[in-house]
């Protein structure tokens, strides 16, 4: 798995479907928030949740390098591509780019807010994923009425991601020994070095997928007549419904505050109310090429 | 009754040449068939055809037929075929997908719709049969290589299919791990009367296990017979990349020297048979050995290039991989690091190249403390060849792969002409010249491994470290790589090899370091190391057959090579008259 499963955490024994729903809830709430103060509060809450639920935040140490790169990418993209004017007339614009965007105090705050959003989503998801093993992930999705084969593939993707990252480490080490520079030299050289890792990574990945597929086929993965020896008691109890209800209320509240009242919007950002039908329509427009049925709101 | 009938089978993958060509084969119920052949012969492809994955789950073109229990694999749905077959592939990490040992065994039983009571019963049987009952709750990631492979076998076994296929299941295992797997298979064969098909490079194990062997080369079956018939033509096998059991080779040599001593067509193929025959044909008298000189390379006195002082290393998850390593490697030495799976061998060599730094103790490479210098500094004088060559190849062509370091990391040092000359020389040595413009990932595993070695040789480092150079290689390729490394060593370069292949160590490597649980338990010349059988046993290592045979000779030195045994037997012993060896 991506992380060692935190079996000491009280979250470990909780219903896996609730954990999966919680991951979606945190990500949606973070998505709806743009106010720096609210985002900071969410970020702090998630940070505090780690020691509270006895999950070590150092489990992310292994992936620190990727997190830093992604944070850098997020900050650069928002700094280079934002046009948020200063809050007060006459406020400073520090630098104007030839293509029209600029860096101002507000764009810096916006970039920091987006970084907090990204990190909150990451930490929030990690908090719950680290307290689930592959079987719980699979059982969790399956009890949410996701077909078993799809639920299994989702859980398998976590394992293969871990193998992918292990391979990435080995490939980087091997290339470093052959003189490839990942952390020194010109920027383009370093980008090129990372690009070169994709070749062996893809080859190894494709070979692994083939072997895993063969193994699954010979274990009767799609034989179609599956029994269930290990079915846990995954029926929802009252407290589970209560948790889901609370999370649904939080999501709806975040949506309403953001899109109906503009309270969670970024200060100074033009606010346009977005009714839920339009939001669903937007989702449908983007999702309809992927799903075989059409959304009713497009 | 025949469990499997193959008639005129030919197969090619999409856009490739024919891999299998006109295969005709029948496998009787309850029999064990061994498949040997050089790398790229089509052994794995044949296994896929035997279990129905070809043609049902693989794109390609098929001619002929494969019938499993009278079901034609072309016409019968795969879901109807697979209940009759279990297959265990080479790499257990790509077959184990559940979070615990028992979940892993339950998974296929659930998929095939067994009722819960039946699943419970079969789970216990499979755990007991494979000796995994005490670790049923463990995560597969925490198991040793041998345990993982036993678990993969347990998964196949739990369904109790009448036919089991094992495709190079012992490749990554230490010698004792290999023996454990084969002992398990022997037990299964005796108790369950299964039909088994085993692909294996380790002919010594196969010889004592298979009822019949076939030799596959370029997609054709070119030889077939019982083990004693199969291994009697030693020259043919070696020419075609397969090394027979050492005992067969030894007695083939004896039969050539003493033509009346034994029947050339019925050579022993197992160690026990060989020991028995040796007692029958030799008068084991006490004789001196003055005229038989067995020379070992003297310990090197050159400068120390790697020095480890009480090196300890603990991984971030708390695993203590090295527990106080003290050693010195000198310039020009050829050293083997051997030990059981998980003993710390790969961790140690990662320290040598600076990828890991000791958590305690000091390691100096060319006088530089690895804690104080970067990997790039150490890499200028060292080269590491990984066990999986795919981890270190990334260029578009074979030539570019070899030229990369000369062009870019040491830029300015070599002109284009010098680069061309160096690369061409190394490609020639590695027999890769004809492939210089090929895409590395389009080549077979054995050729990719050779290319990985070539990329190390071309930069002419002071130390070359090779991690398991023989994994995925047939015997002939393995020996070829070892000969090339020996030549490189003769030029004054230091070579360090990690391997499980005790035959290769005894044939090529003068110094052996044995690791167990992160400590060195013996560090001496190979002959001395091989004389300590109890220490080797502790490290899950076994001695080559020729060493065990030589051990029977009173007052004989420890024998490492077939030539040594041959010299001693030829010169010193009186061989009894011809005794027909009846099996």
Would you call A225 and B48 a contact, using CB atoms and an 8 Å cutoff?
A: no
When pLDDT is averaged across residues A245-264 and rounded to a whole number, the result is: 89
Pairing assessment for the beta strands B304-314 and B18-28 based on DSSP bridges = unpaired
Taking CB atoms and an 8 Å cutoff, what residues of chain B touch A209? none
When pLDDT is averaged across residues A48-70 and rounded to a whole number, the result is: 84
- Residue B379 has its nearest CB partner, among A179, A213, A219, at A179
Q: Are B306 and B470 in contact (CB under 8 A)?
A: no
pLDDT at site B107:
93
Residue of B459, B444, B37, B486 whose CA lies nearest to B219: B37
Is the model's pLDDT at B459 over the cut of 80? Answer: yes
When pLDDT is averaged across residues B122-147 and rounded to a whole number, the result is: 87
Q: Is B355 on the interface with A (CB under 8 A)?
A: yes
Alpha helices in B130-194 (DSSP H): 145-158, 175-192
Residue of B129, B131, B126, B135 whose CA lies nearest to B101: B135
Q: Say how many residues make up chain B.
A: 583
Place of tokens 């293509």: A99
Helix (H, G, I), strand (E, B) or coil at B385: strand
Place of tokens 């209940």: B83
The pLDDT tens digits of the residues spanning B355-411 come to 999 999 999 999 999 999 988 889 889 999 998 888 889 888 999 999 998 887 666
Confidence of residue A181 (pLDDT cuts 50, 70, 90): confident
Kindly give, in sequence order, each residue whose CB lies less than 8 Å from that of residue B391, ignoring residues fewer than 6 positions away. A167, A170, A171, A174, A200, A204
Q: Is A145 on the interface with B (CB under 8 A)?
A: no
Average pLDDT value over all residues in chain A: 82
Would you call A223 and B114 a contact, using CB atoms and an 8 Å cutoff?
A: no
Would you call A211 and B91 a contact, using CB atoms and an 8 Å cutoff?
A: yes
Is the model's pLDDT at A134 over the cut of 70? Answer: yes
Helix A238-259 vs helix A16-32: crossing angle, to nearest 10 = 10
Q: Are B510 and B330 in contact (CB under 8 A)?
A: no
Q: Are B442 and B13 in contact (CB under 8 A)?
A: no
Place of tokens 């009846």: B582
Kindly give, in sequence order, each residue whose CB lies less than 8 Å from that of residue B519, ignoring residues fewer than 6 positions away. B323, B324, B325
When pLDDT is averaged across residues B8-35 and rounded to a whole number, the result is: 92
Of A176-180, B30-34, B144-148, the range with the lowest mean pLDDT is B144-148
Q: Cβ–Cβ contacts within 10 Å for residue A54, how many?
A: 14
Q: Are B163 and B195 in contact (CB under 8 A)?
A: yes
Is the model's pLDDT at B570 over the cut of 90? Answer: no
Q: Which of residues 70-109 of A touch B (CB under 8 A)?
A: none
Nearest-neighbour CA in chain B from A236: distance (Å)? 23
In order of A67, B352, B546, the CA distances from B481 in angstroms are 41, 22, 22
Q: Which of residues 266-285 of A touch B (CB under 8 A)?
A: none
Here the tokens at position B157 are 């076994």
Nearest-neighbour CA in chain B from A195: distance (Å)? 10
Kindly give, in sequence order, each residue whose CB lies less than 8 Å from that of residue A57, ignoring residues fewer than 6 positions away. A47, A50, A123
In order of B13, B172, B198, B302, B452, the CA distances from B441 in angstroms are 16, 22, 27, 40, 12
Ordered strands of the B304-314 beta sheet: B320-330, B304-314, B360-365, B368-369
Would you call A220 and B99 a contact, using CB atoms and an 8 Å cutoff?
A: no
Nearest-neighbour CA in chain A from B392: distance (Å)? 5
In order of A66, A110, B558, the CA distances from B501 in angstroms are 39, 60, 18
Residue of B515, B470, B508 whose CA lies nearest to B346: B515
Nearest-neighbour CA in chain A from B393: distance (Å)? 7
> CA A84, A87, A89, A93: dihedral to nearest 10 degrees?
-50
- In percent, the amount of chain B with pLDDT more than 90 equals 51
**Cα nearest neighbour of B457 on chain A:** A178
Kindly give, in sequence order, each residue whose CB lies less than 8 Å from that of residue A137, ignoring residues fewer than 6 positions away. A16, A20, A129, A151, A154, A155, A158
pLDDT: is A238 or B413 the higher one?
A: A238
pLDDT: is B347 or B191 the higher one?
A: B347
Q: Which of residues 49-108 of B touch A (CB under 8 A)?
A: 51, 53, 57, 78-79, 82-83, 85-87, 89, 91, 93-95, 97-99, 103, 106-108
Confidence of residue A279 (pLDDT cuts 50, 70, 90): low
Is the model's pLDDT at A291 over the cut of 70? Answer: no
pLDDT at site A292:
46
Q: Where are the beta strands (DSSP E) in B418-487?
A: 463-467
Q: Are B523 and B336 in contact (CB under 8 A)?
A: no
Is the model's pLDDT at B500 over the cut of 80? Answer: yes
Helix (H, G, I), strand (E, B) or coil at B307: strand
Confidence of residue B578 (pLDDT cuts 50, 70, 90): very low
**Cα nearest neighbour of B456 on chain A:** A178
Here the tokens at position B244 are 């027979």
Pairing assessment for the beta strands B574-575 and B282-283 based on DSSP bridges = antiparallel
pLDDT: is B572 or B55 the higher one?
A: B55
Would you call A177 and B375 a contact, using CB atoms and an 8 Å cutoff?
A: yes
Q: Which of B183-187, B237-241, B354-358, B441-445 has the highest mean pLDDT?
A: B354-358
When pLDDT is averaged across residues B134-138 and rounded to a whole number, the result is: 91
The pLDDT tens digits of the residues spanning A69-112 come to 888 888 888 877 777 666 666 667 788 888 777 788 888 888 88
Is the model's pLDDT at B161 over the cut of 80? Answer: yes
In order of B141, B164, B170, B228, the CA distances from B89 in angstroms are 17, 11, 10, 27
Is the model's pLDDT at B14 over the cut of 70? Answer: yes
pLDDT at site A90:
60
Helix A64-81 vs helix A105-129: crossing angle, to nearest 10 = 150
DSSP 8-class letter at B263: -
Of B21-30, B115-124, B509-518, B553-562, the range with the lowest mean pLDDT is B553-562
Host H or E run for residue B214: strand B212-217
Average pLDDT value over all residues in chain B: 87
pLDDT at site B185:
84
DSSP 8-class letter at B425: H
Here the tokens at position B216 are 């596959």
Of A109-123, B18-32, B231-245, the range with the lowest mean pLDDT is B231-245
Confidence of residue A295 (pLDDT cuts 50, 70, 90): very low
User: What is the DSSP code string of chain A?
Assistant: --S---TTSGGGGS-HHHHHHHHHHHHHHHHH---HHHHHHHHHHHHHHHHHTT--GGGGGGGHHHHHHHHHHHHHHHHHH--PPPSSTT--EEEE-TTS-EEEHHHHHHHHHHHHHHHHHHHHHHHHHTT--HHHHHHHHHHTT--HHHHHHHHHHHHHHHHHHHHHHHHHHHHHHTT--SSSS-HHHHHHHHHHHHHHHHHHHHHHHHHHHHHHHHTTTT-S----SS-------HHHHHHHHHHHHHHHHHHHHHHTS-TTSPTTSPP----HHHHHHHHHHHHTTTSSS--TT-
Helix (H, G, I), strand (E, B) or coil at B396: coil
Confidence of residue B486 (pLDDT cuts 50, 70, 90): very high
Alpha helices in B95-143 (DSSP H): 101-111, 116-129
Tell me if the pTM is above 0.80. yes
Q: Is B111 on the interface with A (CB under 8 A)?
A: yes
Would you call A227 and B110 a contact, using CB atoms and an 8 Å cutoff?
A: yes
Helix (H, G, I), strand (E, B) or coil at B485: helix
Of A228-232, A284-288, B519-523, the range with the lowest mean pLDDT is A284-288
pLDDT at site B579:
39
Taking CB atoms and an 8 Å cutoff, what residues of chain A touch B405? 178-179
- Over its C-alpha atoms, chain A yields an Rg (Å, rounded) of 22
Helix (H, G, I), strand (E, B) or coil at B204: helix
Kindly give, in sequence order, each residue whose CB lies less than 8 Å from that of residue B185, ignoring residues fewer than 6 positions away. B153, B166, B196, B198, B209
pLDDT: is B168 or A91 the higher one?
A: B168
Here the tokens at position B323 are 């527990």
pLDDT at site B292:
54
Here the tokens at position A183 are 């952390």
Taking CB atoms and an 8 Å cutoff, what residues of chain B touch A217? 53, 57, 78, 82
Of A15-19, A60-64, A268-272, B245-249, the range with the lowest mean pLDDT is A268-272
Distance between CA B351 and CA B340 in Å, rounded? 19
Would you call A208 and B94 a contact, using CB atoms and an 8 Å cutoff?
A: yes
Place of tokens 């004789």: B287
ipTM attached to this prediction: 0.83
DSSP 8-class letter at B411: T
Which residues, in sequence order, are bridge partners of residue B420?
none
- Residue A223 has its nearest CB partner, among B79, B120, B156, at B79
């Amino acid at each position: 798995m991506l992380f060692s499963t935190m079996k000491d955490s009280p979250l470990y024994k909780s219903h896996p479907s609730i954990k999966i729903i919680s991951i979606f809830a945190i990500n949606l709430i973070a998505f709806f928030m743009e106010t720096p103060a609210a985002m900071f509060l969410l970020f702090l809450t998630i940070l505090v949740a780690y020691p509270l639920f006895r999950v070590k935040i150092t489990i992310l140490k292994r992936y620190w390098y990727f997190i830093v790169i992604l944070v850098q990418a997020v900050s650069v993209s928002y700094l280079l591509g934002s046009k948020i004017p200063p809050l007060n007339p006459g406020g400073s614009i520090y630098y104007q780019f030839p293509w029209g965007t600029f860096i101002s105090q507000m764009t810096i705050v916006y970039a920091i807010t987006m970084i907090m959003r990204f990190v909150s989503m990451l930490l929030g998801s990690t908090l719950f994923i680290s307290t689930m093993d592959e079987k719980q992930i699979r059982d969790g999705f399956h009890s949410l009425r996701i077909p078993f084969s799809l639920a299994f593939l989702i859980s398998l993707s976590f394992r293969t991601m871990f193998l992918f990252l292990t391979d990435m480490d080995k490939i980087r080490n091997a290339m470093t020994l052959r003189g490839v520079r990942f952390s020194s030299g010109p920027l383009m050289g370093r980008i090129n070095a990372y690009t070169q890792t994709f070749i062996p990574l893809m080859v190894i990945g494709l070979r692994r997928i083939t072997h895993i597929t063969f193994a699954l086929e010979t274990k009767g993965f799609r034989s179609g007549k599956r029994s269930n020896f290990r079915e846990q008691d995954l029926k929802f109890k009252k407290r589970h419904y209560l948790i889901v209800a609370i999370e649904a209320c939080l999501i709806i509240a975040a949506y309403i505050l953001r899109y109906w009242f503009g309270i969670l919007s970024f200060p100074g950002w033009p606010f346009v109310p977005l009714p839920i039908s339009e939001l669903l329509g937007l989702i449908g427009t983007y999702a309809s090429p992927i799903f075989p049925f059409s959304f009713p709101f497009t | 009754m025949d469990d499997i009938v193959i008639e005129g089978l030919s197969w090619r993958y999409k856009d490739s040449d024919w891999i299998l060509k006109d295969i005709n084969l029948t496998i009787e119920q309850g029999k064990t068939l061994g498949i040997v052949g050089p790398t790229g012969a089509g052994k794995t492809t044949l296994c896929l055809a035997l279990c129905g994955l070809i043609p049902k789950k693989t794109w390609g073109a098929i001619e002929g037929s494969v019938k499993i229990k009278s079901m034609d694999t072309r016409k019968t749905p795969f879901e109807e075929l697979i209940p009759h077959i279990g297959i265990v592939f080479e790499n257990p990490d790509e077959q184990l997908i559940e979070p615990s040992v028992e979940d892993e065994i339950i998974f296929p039983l659930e998929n095939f719709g067994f009722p819960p009571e039946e699943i419970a019963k079969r789970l216990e049987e499979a755990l007991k049969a494979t000796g995994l009952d005490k670790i049923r709750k463990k995560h597969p990631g925490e198991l040793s290589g041998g345990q993982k492979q036993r678990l993969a076998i347990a998964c196949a076994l739990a369904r109790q299919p009448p036919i089991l296929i094992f495709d190079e299941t012992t490749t990554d295992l230490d010698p004792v791990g290999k023996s454990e797997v084969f002992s398990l298979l022997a037990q299964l064969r005796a108790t369950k009367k299964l039909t088994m098909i085993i692909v294996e490079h380790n002919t010594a194990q196969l010889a004592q296990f298979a009822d019949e062997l076939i030799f596959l080369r370029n997609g054709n079956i070119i030889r077939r017979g019982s083990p004693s018939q199969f291994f009697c033509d030693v020259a043919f096998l070696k020419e075609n990349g397969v090394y027979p059991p050492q005992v067969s080779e030894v007695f083939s040599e004896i039969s050539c020297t003493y033509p009346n001593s034994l029947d050339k067509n019925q050579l022993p193929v197992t160690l026990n048979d060989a020991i028995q025959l040796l007692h029958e044909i030799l008068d084991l008298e006490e004789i001196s050995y003055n005229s038989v000189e067995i020379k070992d390379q003297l310990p090197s006195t050159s400068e120390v290039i790697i020095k480890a002082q009480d090196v300890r290393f603990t991984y971030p998850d708390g695993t203590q991989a090295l527990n106080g390593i003290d050693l010195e490697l000198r310039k020009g030495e050829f050293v083997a690091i051997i030990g059981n799976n998980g003993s710390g061998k790969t961790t140690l060599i990662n320290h040598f190249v600076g990828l890991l730094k000791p958590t305690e103790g000091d390691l100096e490479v060319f006088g530089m403390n690895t804690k104080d210098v970067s990997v790039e500094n150490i890499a200028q004088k060292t080269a590491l060849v990984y066990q999986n060559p795919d981890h270190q190849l990334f260029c578009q062509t074979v030539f570019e792969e070899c030229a990369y370091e000369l062009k870019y990391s040491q830029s300015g040092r070599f002109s284009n002409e010098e680069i061309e000359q160096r690369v061409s020389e190394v490609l020639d040595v590695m027999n890769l010249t004809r492939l210089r413009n090929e895409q590395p990932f389009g080549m077979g595993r054995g050729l990719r491994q050779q290319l990985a070695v070539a990329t190390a040789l071309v930069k002419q480092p002071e130390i070359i470290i090779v991690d398991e150079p023989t994994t995925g290689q047939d015997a002939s390729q393995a020996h070829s790589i070892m000969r090339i490394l020996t030549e490189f060593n003769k030029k004054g370069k230091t070579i360090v090899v990690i391997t499980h292949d005790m035959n290769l160590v005894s044939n090529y490597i003068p110094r052996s370091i044995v690791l167990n649980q992160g400590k060195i338990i013996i560090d001496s010349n190979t002959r001395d190391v091989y004389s300590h059988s109890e220490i080797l046993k502790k490290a899950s290592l076994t001695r080559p057959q020729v060493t065990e045979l030589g051990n029977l000779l009173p007052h004989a030195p420890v024998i490492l090579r077939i030539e040594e045994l041959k010299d001693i037997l030829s010169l010193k012993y009186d061989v009894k008259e011809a005794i027909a060896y009846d099996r």
